[in-house]
Amino acid sequence: MVAPERRRGRPPDEEARTRRREKILGCAARVFAAGGYQKTDVQAIADAANVAKGTLYLYFTGKEELFLAAVDQGMTWMRAAVDSAIADLRDPLDVFERGILAYLRFFEEHPEQVELLIQERAEFRDRKQSTYFRHREEGAAHWHSLLRELLASGRFRDLPLTRIDDVMNDLVYGTMFTNHFSGRHKPIETQAGDILDIVFRGILSDEERAKMKDTKS
């Protein structure tokens, strides 16, 4: 018995399909970010990707899936960027600092991803969970164990983990949005430095701080 000849004649070329899919997603991200979800014609994405409109429907079920896939891809890239920035660091405090820097840098360099996040919230508010928060949850374990380590080793003062978690997350989230929405262009390193200075050391003077210590937290 002979191996099926089809195999020889035509390789499935799954790879080409994947490449095309990613190309479409990249174009979609750009076009959606430039025009907004509603105002963007599917045709405009097809044009940008240099394929026919019908072809898009061979790769995605519709405009919605196309959009959501683009957002998801962006968030995946973001996490990869952060992971890669902290990959070879040893000191947990360095990881903490460089992670924040990498997060802000990614959105600074990919403003279209910020647009996609906002668009997603505006147009698909009814979905259980937004892509951003889903990815945040998926990455939460690493982040929590980092915080736990910093707490356990006594480098952070004794605070509930969720307090640090919430405040830090809200702060970088708000920073990213404000950067984008208000057109602020402070250098990323300065910005990360400002954040860490305040979050690490607080804004109270030593005197005021001492007074407050007596009180119960």
Partner DNA sequence: CATGAATGAGTATTCATTCAT
Partner DNA sequence: TATGAATGAATACTCATTCAT
Binding site for a copy of itself (CB under 8 A): 9, 36-38, 52, 93, 115, 118-119, 121-123, 125, 129-130, 132-133, 154-159, 163-164, 166-167, 169-175, 177-178, 181-182, 184, 186, 191, 194-195, 197-209, 212-213, 217
Please, what sign has the CA dihedral across residues 123, 125, 127, 132? positive
* Per CB under 7 A, 22 contacts DNA: no
Q: Taking CB under 7 A as the criterion, which residues in 40-79 touch DNA? A: 40-43, 51-55, 57-58, 62-64
Q: Which is nearer to a copy of itself, 109 or 166 (CB)?
A: 166
* Per CB under 7 A, 127 contacts DNA: no
Q: Which is nearer to DNA, 37 or 96 (CB)?
A: 37
Q: Which two tokens stand for residue 108?
A: 């600074």
Nearest-angstrom CA–CA distance, 62 and 64 = 5
* Segment interacting with DNA, rule: CB under 7 A, options 13-21, 71-79, 135-143, 180-188: 13-21
Answer for the pair 35, 44: CB distance below 8 angstroms, yes or no.
yes
Largest CA distance in the chain: 88
Distances (CA, A) of 53 to 25, 31, 56, 86: 14, 14, 6, 41
